[in-house]
Amino acid sequence: MTPYEIRGCTVADATALAYNNIGAFWESPGYKLLWLGRSLEYVTVNAAKRMPRNLLNDRAHQRHQLVVDGETGRIVGYARWILPDRLAGEWLEAQTPTQEFTRAFDKADWNFTDLPNMDDHVHVAKAHYFRGLDYLAVHPDNKGRGIASMLVGHGVAAAEKMNVYIFLIAFEADLGVYKKFGFEILESNVQDLAKWGGAGPYATYMIEKKIAKRG
């Protein structure tokens, strides 16, 4: 079995993270609708320009982790977590170190297609809960190897240590991983992508992991 290592992120990981993350989300028909007329390669290049700034944004609350294939050195998974104000000084091993970087952010093409009302319910939920797992991506070439479980499990362990519950927005393909760790569905929303010129269902789930309070 390939030895995988989980660690924090640095600015130097930007390009590899963009490849992993955009490749993962490109499998979603809903995500592709945001980028009509643009290729996977084009979006990945522009995501890489934005990634250093994203890794250093709101360092007080954001925590980033990735999984590396120990044999190839490739990044094969990524997760971004959001902490509440009271935990801004915690879990510092997952906080991206401050580092200078080439400022290509403003040159990135990130003008995605406007899909009116598609994610209104998601924005409402995030504004209400906001704490928890904000982003999880495993490149399709590496699915089924336990990488998502590794990232989620590590985050759950950190949440238990900090005594904070986890809320997140999940997609259908990842529900099995979350259920394995005891997440419960709070509500779901299924829409028809035909509303925005696509095909098939677009399902999102608001789920949470309750953490038992320490005595």
pLDDT, tens only, 123-161 = 888 877 766 889 899 999 999 999 999 999 999 999 999
More confidently predicted of 130 and 17: 17
Q: No. of H helices and E strands in the chain? A: 6, 7
What SS3 class is residue 185? Answer: strand
| Mean pLDDT taken over the chain | 92
CATH of 4-84+116-163, one of 3.40.50.12780, 3.40.630.30, 3.20.20.70, 1.10.3720.10: 3.40.630.30
What is the per-residue pLDDT for 100?
77
Per-residue pLDDT band for 1 (boundaries 50, 70, 90) equals low
Q: What is the Cα–Cα distance from 134 to 53, expressed in whole angstroms?
A: 16
Residues 6+ apart with CB under 8 A from 46: 108, 109, 110
What digits encode the pLDDT tens for the residues 107-121? Answer: 899 999 999 999 998
pLDDT of amino acid 101? 74
Residue length, the chain? Answer: 215
Chain segment 38-69, per-residue pLDDT in tens: 999 999 999 999 999 999 999 999 999 999 99
Three-state SS at 4: strand
pLDDT on residue 139 = 93
Tell me the mean pLDDT in the region 70-91.
95
